A and B are shown apart, each in its own frame.
Chain A
């Protein structure tokens, strides 16, 4: 599904990603861990298509298609979704109206008709129940005055509504208390399927107790310095990141 080959990227001449190689197949959950400043969020943003980051070398392929000149919205139409660490507040636009707009824009781009109102409402009801979201919440302005936990839950709600093929969760666990973390993780797990893939970007192993990854990669200084299975995350939790920093690339 996603193939990243020797990816170098940066902003204003500062290279942040330093030769990333990663392959994600349908049905897989990958966790990317690493210390602050290792390039985790940059990697997420580059996959989602943020223009501030310039790709200087290498390639990102989605289902075999080079994403270089593909805009963020077109990537979304192709099934890429990114959950933001700091979601943006949009006063005057309710969660429901925002979702309607987003879904119908994607459908329009794919040459499909608008989703009928009753189907939309049914989906909104289903997915909000899945994430234990109150009906009143849906008529509030998007992210405006939301607590940190509400914002994150709303991100996963959007993911559930949009049903992406590839979801990237950027630090979704930060700012969540244990109950909120459980609800969010439960929501994500229900969205796992054999046709879609998830990349979880996190600093801590905590979230991975609830969403068990198939692969764990450790990012340091813009490179993946170690890859393994879920046990690698446990090791990192015990030992910290320092023991990996000096290890040669495997």
Chain B
């Protein structure tokens, strides 16, 4: 039985575990039909030309994990941003770990989607937002919607800001030989509210894990949201991340994606601007080696005038790693005075590494500023020579230059401890041995 059949036939069993009379279940039932019709996307589809899910579909993934062993905090501490106090929503093999988590209802809700989808007090919010920005015609998003049950639920009411950043962590213990996870996050940040989120999927063994995640983020007027995705997973871990963001007027949302490894990673990042003077920031650092694969598919849809978007993705590829960047910008006819910038720069260190970079601009307004640029190249010889003349050996000089190249993207990271952490991750990925205190 291939993965699609297995998933579709598992839906009945899934229904036994949830309240089928809740209105959300009508949404799930619709979604499983969509997935059944469409199936997994294939490479004949333009959007999946360079990323194949074929191998994953042949794997016999467990869809309903058994209750996992508890993890000791000391064993997984390094995956937390432990240098700073945070709220934590932690899942072990898809199941909430209250032991490792720190949630709150103090003026804001930082808790679980399973609670939000079942308790009457959350219903008014869920009815308004759940599955409203996520694509209803996308097969993988529909698959996640069909099985949506657990994940993070964050609700920040008007004029509020949580005391500290929120970490969403998913651990895979390797209890199953192959495990499929489908977390679903719903995040609402109302007018003038603020939120910082750090998300990480971490496999703890070499066993296979496939995560098909959907996150919906709603940023109200003047809201400020920073979302950081740290992807530094094991060689058996694959991630399909589908993130949908709806932005009202004058809101600022930034998403930083640090893609440092995993077997296959697909980031579908979609921004919908639904007001004027909106600012959307999409940044990425990708550093891959061995046979790792990362595919960044971004969409920024400018639907109102006077807004901005900034995309800056940098990639470094070694060994037989492969990268994809596909950046789509749509500017509607009404969206005059749009400023849309997109930049994708790549360095190939090995002859066998490949990158496919494709800007896609669909502009229907006439008074806009749009720029895009992509480069794929080697290191600047002159810069290398400069460092060598200072006594730094060629190998170290090359690593230092790549470090500088990737680091440029970090300027907009607003959690200093995270910035430091990413700095160190970049340095260690590139084997930069600098006698410095980052």
Contact = CB atoms under 8 A, between A and B. Distances in A.
A101 B435 contact: yes
Contacts of A82: 389
Given A101-B435, A105-B393, A93 B404 contact: yes
A101 B408 contact: no
A162 interface: yes
Given A52-B381, A105-B396, A91 B391 contact: no
* Size class of the contact patch on chain A: 35 or more
A250 interface: no
A97 interface: yes
A102 B391 CA distance: 6
A88 interface: yes
Contacts of B407: 91-93
Contacts of A109: 391, 393
B434 A73 contact: no
A110 B380 CA distance: 28
A72 B400 contact: no
B100 interface: no
B404 A92 contact: yes
Contacts of A106: 391
Contacts of B410: 92
Given A88-B386, A90-B400, A93-B403, A104 B435 contact: yes
Given A52-B381, A90-B401, A73 B436 contact: no
A107 to B, nearest CB: 9
Interface in B372-393: 380-383, 385-393
Interface in A33-67: 45, 48-52
A162 B390 contact: yes
B381 A91 contact: no
Interface in A62-80: 71-73, 75-77, 80
Instruction: Give the interface centre of A49, A72, A81 by most chain B CB atoms within 10 Å.
Output: A72
B423 interface: yes
B434 A101 contact: yes
A50 B404 contact: no
B394 interface: yes
Given A48-B389, A104-B435, A105-B391, A92 B423 contact: yes
Interface in A136-179: 141, 158, 162
B435 A72 contact: no
A30 B434 CA distance: 35
Contacts of B423: 92
Contacts of A50: 385
B242 to A, nearest CB: 31
B435 A84 contact: no
A162 B410 CA distance: 30
A73 B384 CA distance: 10
Chain B contact residues: over half helix, strand or loop, or mixed?
helix
A49 B385 CA distance: 9
Interface string B397-414: 100110110111010000
A245 interface: no
Contact of B404 (A48, A77, A81, A90): A90
Contacts of B434: 93, 97, 100-101
A114 B403 contact: no
Interface in A200-227: none
B424 to A, nearest CB: 12
A27 interface: no
B391 A87 contact: no
Contacts of B380: 88
Given A87-B386, A88-B380, A88-B382, A101 B393 contact: no
Contacts of A92: 403-404, 406-408, 410, 423
A73 B393 contact: yes
Contacts of B382: 86, 88
Contacts of A87: 386
A144 B122 CA distance: 50
A100 B389 contact: no
A97 B391 contact: no
B394 A71 contact: yes
A73 B436 CA distance: 20
A73 B394 contact: yes
Nearest to A94: B436
Contacts of B386: 84, 87-88
A86 B406 CA distance: 22
Nearest to A98: B390
Contacts of B381: 51-52
Contacts of B391: 73, 76-77, 102-103, 105-106, 109, 162
B423 to A, nearest CB: 7
A76 to B, nearest CB: 4
A188 B391 CA distance: 20
B436 A102 contact: no
A128 B407 CA distance: 26
5 contacts: A76-B389, A94-B436, A100-B436, A101-B400, A101-B435
Interface of A: 45, 48-52, 71-73, 75-77, 80-82, 84, 86-94, 97-98, 100-106, 109, 114, 141, 158, 162
Given A71-B388, A100-B435, A114-B435, 20 more contacts: A51-B381, A71-B394, A75-B389, A80-B389, A84-B386, A88-B382, A88-B383, A88-B386, A89-B404, A92-B410, A92-B423, A94-B436, A97-B434, A97-B437, A101-B436, A105-B392, A105-B393, A105-B396, A109-B391, A158-B390
